[in-house]
Structure 1
Amino acid sequence: DEAELNRDEVTIGLRSDITTSMWIDALGRRLKLRRNALPEVRERLESTLNSDLDNADLVVLKDHLLGLIMTGTQSSLFIAEDKDHRLPIPVMSSITPRTPSDFLLHCMLMIGEVSTELDLRCTGSMKQTLAQTKLIPNEDLDDEECLKKYSIHLVKRVIREVFPFQAITMRAMQEYIIKCKRLFDSVLLEDAIPLTELPPCLLTDLLDEKDAKLREAWRKKRSGQLDMIYAQISNPEDFPSKEEVMNATKTNPVQWDPVSAMMMGRDQTQESHNEQRVAIGFGKRAVDKYCRQLGVTSRTKGVLTHGTPGAGKTYVSLIEVLYGISQGLRVMTAALMAFRSQCIGGVHLHKLFCLEVSKSNNIIRLAELALEKLHRKSNMEMLHYLMTVDVLFLDEVGQLSSQQFVQLDIILRGVRQNNLPFGGVLILGTFDHAQQGAIEGTPFLLSSLIQTDFNLIRLQHSVRAHNDTVLQEIQRISRMNPDELVNNEGLESTFKQLVGDAFHFVDTMSDPQIGPEHQRMYAKRRNAAAAAEDYVTTSAANLATRNIRHRVVKSEDYQRTAHSNATFRTATDGNLISALDKYLREPKRLLFYEGAMFESTVNGDNYSYSQVLFMREVPSAEDIAAFSDITLWAKPPSGTANFAGMENGQIPTEEELLEWNWTKVKVRVTRERLVKTNYLEGGRKQYSLRHTCSSTINRTMGSTIVGPVAIEMTEECTPWEKGQIVVMISRTTLAEHIWIVGNKRFAINKMWQIICRKSQWSDMMETILRNLSTNADGVADPGAEPDYIPMNEVFPYRMCDVQLPTSTAGYVYLLVSVPHPTFTYVGQTEHLGRRLNQHNSGRGSNTTAPSMYMPYHVAAYVITPNLDEGQRMSMERRWQQRNQNALRQGNADIGNLVDMGRELMSEYNQLVHADEHLRFVSHIERAL
């Protein structure tokens, strides 16, 4: 029974006659036998000999219980009538050999023979206790050979009778068996309990070594980032040296001005140079504000640079990264695409944050899983990065969905135990909303964090296509809002004319004009894979004709019945082989020859996924047949997708490769990845490589291709969204380098149709960019309403579905009563959503407490990240006073009250720099 007995009840219940005495435990609770368990009790009692019982009372109790069970007699004293026919499942305490003393006692109590726990304390040693509990014979306790046999017997008993009841994995089981054997050997042979933990004298050294490794990891990461940055700077002599930047600290930063150091590039216009300097100035101010430790401080907004392809967004951001490192900050660079993360000397975003690859929409749960993985021992380095990073640069951050962006915010807040946005980390980033965005979820720009915690800087002058005004015009039209394109015959005629004249058109990829120097691009992955297979066939024939040594490596595909332990055999099922081609990165065939270029399909030692690998020497036939490790050279990351200097067939020496910072690496066969289809499962044994001859449009995003590119646009393989068109026509420096494969008329008409397509979020994204961005060239957009978002005009669904900001940036807001629209209230808060809930529950303020006015709707709010509570209260009073004046003048229309708040915002913004502007969001119609 759960109820505890008092002293009198215990006294009455305990009797000298054991057949009429209650069973009471040490906590004063009664114990009884479950009726459903009586068959097991009977079996145990009948197997117990009277000679094994210590006294006569136990023999009497045994006979009494057997009589009750066999006759079916009701006994409220000893037997409890079950309401549930199922017996409870006992779960043993999870005590493991990692705690030796506790585990020994646990084993004695669980499989030994003891009356009470006190029996374990009545002997002089653990060895004697094991003998008294009959876990080992009480003989030959001084014979070493016998004790070894006792130890092995004890280990077997523990494996059979203890471990099956503990929730442990097979890997942990292996560890526990080894520790268990060491424990019993030590107790029986040495009469001592082994220390399974590290000795403190060694532990301190190991902890210090681990800290040193983590510090060294940061130093190596910083060095790699600087190498990447300095490799792209055209005038490094105007920047501080790498050694100076490496030695910079927060207390001893490098004194320099990145804006002044920016010199105009050889292939750059004056307009482009000027706007890049302005953009770098925004980043510099953000870093300086972040570094400010004393004096007047306020929250630092992140800086996102966006604009036309090839305008130098990544270059500008890398200069900002260099400035951050030079101020002694820890800066981490990352990207969602592995290729882009290499180009900026960073880490793949999934690896850095340990993100789960899941289609779940519950971002909080996904963030929890990521936090759990980060705290695993194997991810200690990534956890250390996130805990100690000052600045995080995210290249092509627009590829994230708004949900994924919020997930990063949750993870950083959790890791750093800091409630500031992104845990206080300063975020720098680049994106282009017209290019390809998130595959699933809502677009990145729809996150409320963009409104509250970021400054947007727009670059509009292309550096990549500066020598080709025709290509610039084609790119400009392709990026325009679909509303401006649809039914605009002038723009349609101009676009089709320019594309038809500037681009080359051929019917097929086998056209003689498409040579090996062309980078092939496809909208669909299966077409790119087919092109790679065709490349192996044609190239192998070409090499054979020229008597050049080469080898074709065929994969070994295997299959078996799904979810079975059958032996794998050669794959013959067509559906399974098709599935292997679809879901695995490795191709059926690889072509090895001197000068061959590959990209890695996995992360390996000293190279990473998508990194370019160069074959200088062809492996032997024996090594290939055995799938032995092969030697390749890993290309240092760069921003270009082709490899000038090696395409002419000349093979560089090892010394030259080392001089160019290439790394000698070993490439292995990819690990087993099973693919299931119908009733079969199978895999592919192949080197973790694929050829670089073709790629999807998506993979080239952010790259500059120096040379010609061939893009297939046929009915079987054509892009389907506007972002793909923008990407594919903006990778090269000249329009004449773009070759369209397919019917000319079909391709041009299809391109126009696609760029005219509009999503439900297009208007909202265009409005956010137009009104919240600072144009770095100083030219204002026509129709722009700075720092204002008319959510009621651009949100495509009901206003009640609008997500309020989750950031604690600070707000001054206007509430309107839904049942009585003439009743309004102006207030201020740090968290708008939480405050609205308080108002709607009667806990907001005395003014909004009457239930007759509930519920309330947020009519408008000012985002005030740079104002403290006193300043917000001052703005609240002025807004309220203006509303009262309008009421006295009979001009209390809700739209007019909204405009009062916007006027206050505009008056404040005229007095401060653009990166400290307040922002105004309206959820209701303004006054006419």
Structure 2
Amino acid sequence: MPPRTRRRITTHRCRQCGTYTTSSGNCRVCSRRALNRPLHPNTSSPSTPNAQPFQVPVPSPLRSVSHCECCMRSPTVAFPFDCHHHISANLVSRHYGAVNRHSLAKPTLRLCGLCYRYLSPGPLPHSGHAKWAIAWPSVLCTYLFSTPPTADALLFVQCLPRRLRQLWQPMFNSLSIAIQRYWDTPPALVDITSQRSEYLADVESNEIHRIITCNDALPCDTIRCLYGCFAHPSDCGSIGFQHVIGLVDPNFHFADSNPDKSLRGRRPDWLESRMFLNTWVVAPSTFIPHERDVGLQLATCAEHDGGGCKEYCHVPQNPTGHLCSPWGDQLSHAVFVSRKLLPARKAFNSHAWSLTSMQGGYQGLSSFFLSTERRFDIHDPDITYPQECLAVAYRPDIRALLFQILADDVIHLLNEAAVAGDSAAIALQRTVFANLNDPSIWRRFINDDPQNRQARIPVFPFPRVADSAAFIIHLILSMGRYDCEPQIFAVPTLLAAMQVAGLAPIDREANTADVYNLVKQYILMQARWMPGGVRSFDRNIIKATSILSSLLLRGELAHEGTPLVLTRSLQALHTESSEHLLQDIRRNLATVLHDSVPGAPSVEAIVNSTLSQPLQWRPMLSQAPYQSPASLYEQQEALDQLCTTIDCFASGLYSFTRGHVCAGSAGSGKTHLLLTGTMYCRARGLETVMTALSSERASELGGFHLHRLVPLPIFSRNRQCDVRVSAERCIVNLSYKPDLLLTLRRIDVWCIDEIGLISAETFSILDLVLQHVKDNTLPFGGCLVLGTGDMLQLNPSTGRPLWVSPHVLTTFTVIPLKHMVRAAGDGNLMRCLDILRQPFITDENLLQITDLIEENCRFVPTFADVPFNTGTIRLFSRKIAEREEAARLARMIELDESITSVHHIAVDEVTTNLGGAAIWRIATESESTAITAHVQEPYDLRLYDGCIIRFTRNHKSRSFSNGQLGVIRRAEAPVTVYVAPCGARSVPDISYVRTHWTLLTVSPMVSPVLPLRRHGYGRRQQLPLKVYVSSTIHRALGSTMSQIACRFSQTDPRFRLWDRRLLYVALSRVRSLGHIVFVGPRQDTFHCITEVARRRGQFDDYIHHLLSVVEGAPNLGSPQIDLTLLPIMPLDCELPHTPTGFVYALISMRTREVYVGQTSDVDKRLRQHNSSRGSVFTRALHRQPFALLALMHGFNPELRGDHLVAARERIEASWKSRLRSLQRLAQAADVLDTGSLLAHENDLVFVVCSRV
């Protein structure tokens, strides 16, 4: 059987549009367009049935009449409309036009073709485009003759082109008063319907003389898109004009009018025209397409066809030439020279506008137009030869520019005999060089090679300033004066080339003033248009000054770069540093594993274990005190699963091995299992690293802080996390740390403690970074990930919980642990924790919890009744309560005469901007207060000998970690501290401290730069210490404490709990309920506990379902994410109709930031804020959209005008002042509380519009 051969498919191109077809001739679209082309709406008959939105029988037309009786246009071709033949009730439902019940009393109406279809019986088309196609004259008539009071008459008249005004000019006396007042206002829009139709007809005629004529008449882009870009009438998009009417009248919603969506992102100056090359007017335009029945349209560029909902990004227009960069990549330079050695091409994926450098001057000209010929997809050799090969031939704008170039030259007559028979030369002579008959034009811009005819137009992109040779050549080509390139570079040195180009003096030696003048010209002409920020601009200017000074003053070209010998030395140094870092990781981990895992090998054996020489060791668990046999059996099974997974990974037989997460309740032995599994990884010779989100916790387990291993970006509470962008930033940060990058490439296993504290977004960033580092597209670059976590403990502070991430289902196996070990000696505590882990808590369970707490815990009235320095840790839910307790104890110590305390005052600095232009100054008292709200270090740190402190920062050499304990040995500077081992939460006898704790000298450290709310940026220089008397519940996660004292209150917001997980973590830090002291009123404490125990989170149902599936429990139902538990939910409330206006509060649905303002119309004001037409605060796209949180109304009805506005502004200022006094970011609950109190004080009505 002969082999099958692939059949070759022959393709053809359509003669009209140039698209590929399977047969010769026209494509189906062009064939149907030629047969069924609808007529113009103003022609003698309505559109054909193929283009009609619904079928309407049309009678014979009448002769021309004065005007249409519905849209009032004149003159027009009318059709008789029999009113008695149709149902009048259906006709009255048409809201637009001049037809009403009075006019329907006539037997016959004279209507134009569009109005005949608009008034015909039956429902209007469902599509908004089809409605607008037949109703646009009637809509314009309504706004011309009876302008609604809500409409902007001036804007409406400005958007009405002069050609459309002429249709209603005979009815001027009947127009509304508002329209008559602005009727003579110059129109901002230009109607290009006839111009566009004639142009397309000439192009589709396939006649060369008509194509040349129409391109000479319309040579460049004359349409200015409302987003700033330019477009040609032959290749433009459109937006329905009904959206413009929506801008004129916010109450206009006919034909799906939605300017906030379709016109989103428009430029503020979208109604202004521009001059192109001081010759051509580029203006916003309207037209009525003849190829499709859609009615009056607003012209746009092809990229914005349909509106701004595509969200194309446009940079502001260039002041020189008034051109806009559609993609904003860079502004390169187009330079005209006598001859070009290489042909010019449009850069791939680049549509950058260019600045033209001609004899040292600048004009606005587009390199995209110059280097790319305009094609019409007409594949006829007689047409494409002159059209495509001579792009410069049909460009009067280039002709004018060439005239300027040759203004000083002698114009010679072109010898026609020399070009006889050459159709390209004849076309060139007849169209372009009719007034410029100079043979030099031919030599400059026309290549004589018949196989490759194209215009020679060089485009020079911006070079890197660090590349000194390319930078100097770029300056010579773009800023010098010369006739051709060989003239410049026919000299021995670059300094001589600059002298020939007129950039350096010839008759004398250059001085510093010449360098500065040249740098100044470079800044004004080029550098200020380069993309980048302040830092890159400063860096480029400093390098440019250095290069020019070296060349002009010393005659030597300075080169920046690293010598090859130093590069090799640095590579060796970083390789050695990476090896040292990896050795530290092994030794620290081996030390902790040897002390924590029973029966572990020696430290040196663990450190020296490799894949080729593994240790023959298999872990076995032993029963801990009070541990039940069921718990031991459960842990041994989990350990066997871990060991099996590690063996599969180390064998290399599988491309990817799923990670394991030990998930269980607090104190169930998760960390011990992780350490044992980590020990087995090292025994198999795998490069393993232990990490955690808490630096102290990571050091306690012999690992490194997660942010030290991977420089992840830190996101504030109000900043959205873009995973892709953040991963790219992290990779860039790693490129500056080659030793760390080399280390990460060698890591095989990642062990993460309390993995649930890492958000799903951060975990995805870690996944992408490891894929890049390992150059492997497998999850986490193929690394094995082991972790511990509790689905029902604290969620991450920002972002979504990791348990709802797809990583849990696709890349991990969750090992459940049900039995507790830490609280095994207290059955009452175990019962409380078991109840709190249930998805639904009944009243019986709540009563049982309160009874157990009341019987076993101790209650005191105040924290003063809790003994000081007894090892009792005070736990708080909020930082403000922790600070107040520290201040109270500091005052108590200050009053104690037996204690000598030393004050360490911080140095606070602020600046208004960052970068090279940052100037720091000493902060004021209010600015220091704002900085205090963002840092842990106090402004006034009071220390005394023997004081127990806690570190607030991580040290680079890992001498101490954030949260680690210490005891002050010397309170005066320099301060010396005994540093406790990681994980210690109590202070033993002072003699033990002196012999077993590490003595360290602590120096002040500068905090990271902090964005302040009203004062720019700030930073604080202070000792990284704070007096340790208390802790937050979040920081206590993962710790075991001997005794805790905490206060829970439902009435005091400082001690209020907002999540059931906070109560669970607080109770699970101790081994028995008897080790817990509750402070405050007993009933208030129980009320807070019962209230928070009933609360459920947004993802609780899904997490409980996932936990039930993992544990093999009966299914609790289909998993779901409860959207009703979103932080902000709108309420169905009616806006009151009041003439006195409102004071309102908006909340961002993204960042949860709050904006307070006043207005007379809340509905209109909300739309303005969400369409970037509001204040500067709400104009930021990362905060939109906004929802209405609350409003006040009920102002004095006797107030009018400015007095009423002043009353609203006073309430607005008072509301903002109270929110600022909180000294922290105001939450939605704070806004409602302060607003309700303010409304009560001023006898106003307060309305809550969103549920918090």
CA distance in 2, matches of 1:604, 1:532: 24
Q: Which amino acid aligns with 2:636?
A: R
Secondary structure in 2 matching 1:394: strand
Q: Which amino acid aligns with 1:124?
A: P
Picking from 1041, 1050, 1064, the partner of 1:705 is 1041
Deviation at 1:255, TM superposition (A): 1.6
Partner in structure 2 of residue 87 of structure 1? none
Partner in structure 2 of residue 676 of structure 1? 1012
Picking from 539, 546, 549, the partner of 2:893 is 539
CA distance in 2, matches of 1:478, 1:42: 78
Deviation sequence 1:366-401 (CA, Å, 0-9, x none): 233223332333344554454432111221112234
1:512–1:446 CA distance, 2 compared to 1 (3 A): closer
Of 317-326 and 404-413, more deviation after overlay is shown by 404-413
1:251–1:445 CA distance, 2 compared to 1 (3 A): same
CA distance in 2, matches of 1:161, 1:213: 46
Partner in structure 2 of residue 459 of structure 1? 817
RMSD: 4.3
**Does residue 216 of the first structure (1) align with residue 580 of the second (2)?**
yes
**Does residue 256 of the first structure (1) align with residue 626 of the second (2)?**
no
Deviation sequence 1:458-516 (CA, Å, 0-9, x none): 2233332233232222222222232xx314x3x44432222111111111111155665
1:475–1:671 CA distance, 2 compared to 1 (3 A): closer
Partner in structure 2 of residue 274 of structure 1? 633
How does 1:18-57 map onto structure 2 within 5 Å? Answer: 26=340
CA distance in 2, matches of 1:663, 1:515: 21
Picking from 485, 491, 500, the partner of 1:117 is 485
Contact 1:398 1:437 in 2 (8 A): yes
Of 313-322 and 439-448, more deviation after overlay is shown by 439-448
How does 1:141-540 map onto structure 2 within 5 Å? Answer: 163-164=527-528, 166-167=530-531, 171=535, 183=547, 193-233=557-597, 235=598, 238-259=599-620, 262-266=621-625, 268-294=627-653, 297=654, 299-351=656-708, 352=710, 354-357=712-715, 365-376=722-733, 377-482=735-840, 485-487=841-843, 489=844, 491-511=845-865, 513=867, 516-540=870-894
Picking from 770, 775, 794, the partner of 2:1119 is 794
Contact 1:276 1:316 in 2 (8 A): yes
Any stretches of 5+ residues in structure 1 without a counterpart?
1-8, 10-21, 31-35, 46-56, 66-73, 80-89, 624-628, 774-780, 799-928
Secondary structure in 2 matching 1:583: coil
Deviation at 1:592, TM superposition (A): 1.4
Partner in structure 2 of residue 637 of structure 1? 982
Partner in structure 1 of residue 1063 of structure 2? 725
Partner in structure 1 of residue 1083 of structure 2? 745
Partner in structure 2 of residue 757 of structure 1? 1095
Picking from 604, 614, 617, the partner of 2:966 is 614
Contact 1:392 1:425 in 2 (8 A): yes
CA distance in 1, matches of 2:904, 2:930: 20
1:522–1:103 CA distance, 2 compared to 1 (3 A): same
Contact 1:183 1:193 in 2 (8 A): yes
Deviation at 1:767, TM superposition (A): 2.8
Partner in structure 2 of residue 106 of structure 1? 474
Secondary structure in 1 matching 2:1012: strand
Any stretches of 5+ residues in structure 2 without a counterpart?
1-211, 213-335, 346-353, 364-402, 412-431, 438-457, 1124-1252
Contact 2:355 2:362 in 1 (8 A): no
Picking from 94, 97, 115, the partner of 2:462 is 94
Deviation sequence 1:251-307 (CA, Å, 0-9, x none): 221121013xx333456444433333222222111111111124xx36422111121
Deviation at 1:78, TM superposition (A): 7.3
Secondary structure in 2 matching 1:553: strand
Deviation at 1:439, TM superposition (A): 3.9
Deviation sequence 1:540-561 (CA, Å, 0-9, x none): 333xx22x43213344567799
Secondary structure in 2 matching 1:437: coil
CA distance in 1, matches of 2:949, 2:1083: 35
1:795–1:268 CA distance, 2 compared to 1 (3 A): same
Secondary structure in 2 matching 1:700: coil
CA distance in 2, matches of 1:286, 1:715: 51
Contact 1:397 1:431 in 2 (8 A): yes
**Does residue 596 of the first structure (1) align with residue 947 of the second (2)?**
yes
1:177–1:204 CA distance, 2 compared to 1 (3 A): same
How does 1:630-669 map onto structure 2 within 5 Å? Answer: 630-638=975-983, 640-646=984-990, 652-653=993-994, 656=995, 660=997, 662=998, 664-669=1000-1005
Of 403-412 and 735-744, more deviation after overlay is shown by 403-412
Higher helix share: 1
**Does residue 693 of the first structure (1) align with residue 1029 of the second (2)?**
yes
How does 1:565-576 map onto structure 2 within 5 Å? Answer: 568=921, 571-573=924-926
Partner in structure 2 of residue 917 of structure 1? none
Contact 1:586 1:689 in 2 (8 A): yes
Partner in structure 2 of residue 829 of structure 1? none
Contact 1:634 1:665 in 2 (8 A): no
Secondary structure in 2 matching 1:598: strand
Deviation at 1:223, TM superposition (A): 1.9
Secondary structure in 2 matching 1:519: strand
Q: Which amino acid aligns with 2:1119?
A: V
Partner in structure 1 of residue 408 of structure 2? 62
CA distance in 1, matches of 2:825, 2:759: 34
CA distance in 1, matches of 2:356, 2:466: 37
Deviation at 1:457, TM superposition (A): 1.7
CA distance in 2, matches of 1:587, 1:500: 37
Deviation sequence 1:112-170 (CA, Å, 0-9, x none): 333222123211233433333343333577xxxx7899778867776776654544665
Partner in structure 2 of residue 809 of structure 1? none
Deviation sequence 1:425-474 (CA, Å, 0-9, x none): 21111111221123455433222332333222222333322332322222
Deviation sequence 1:610-636 (CA, Å, 0-9, x none): 24253544354xx5xxxxx74445444
1:472–1:293 CA distance, 2 compared to 1 (3 A): same
1:392–1:91 CA distance, 2 compared to 1 (3 A): farther
Partner in structure 2 of residue 896 of structure 1? none
Q: Which amino acid aligns with 1:695?
A: S
Q: Percent identity?
A: 22
Contact 1:373 1:379 in 2 (8 A): no
Per the normalisation by structure 2, the TM-score is 0.50
Contact 2:660 2:813 in 1 (8 A): yes
Q: Which amino acid aligns with 1:395?
A: D
Q: Which amino acid aligns with 1:252?
A: Q
Contact 1:602 1:670 in 2 (8 A): no
1:676–1:44 CA distance, 2 compared to 1 (3 A): closer
CA distance in 2, matches of 1:734, 1:397: 26
Higher relative contact order (CA 8 A, sep 6+): 1
Per the normalisation by structure 1, the TM-score is 0.66
1:284–1:523 CA distance, 2 compared to 1 (3 A): same
Partner in structure 2 of residue 734 of structure 1? 1072
Partner in structure 2 of residue 923 of structure 1? none
Contact 1:505 1:740 in 2 (8 A): yes
Secondary structure in 2 matching 1:317: helix
Aligned positions, number: 694
1:381–1:730 CA distance, 2 compared to 1 (3 A): farther
Partner in structure 1 of residue 134 of structure 2? none
Contact 2:966 2:980 in 1 (8 A): yes
Partner in structure 2 of residue 550 of structure 1? 901
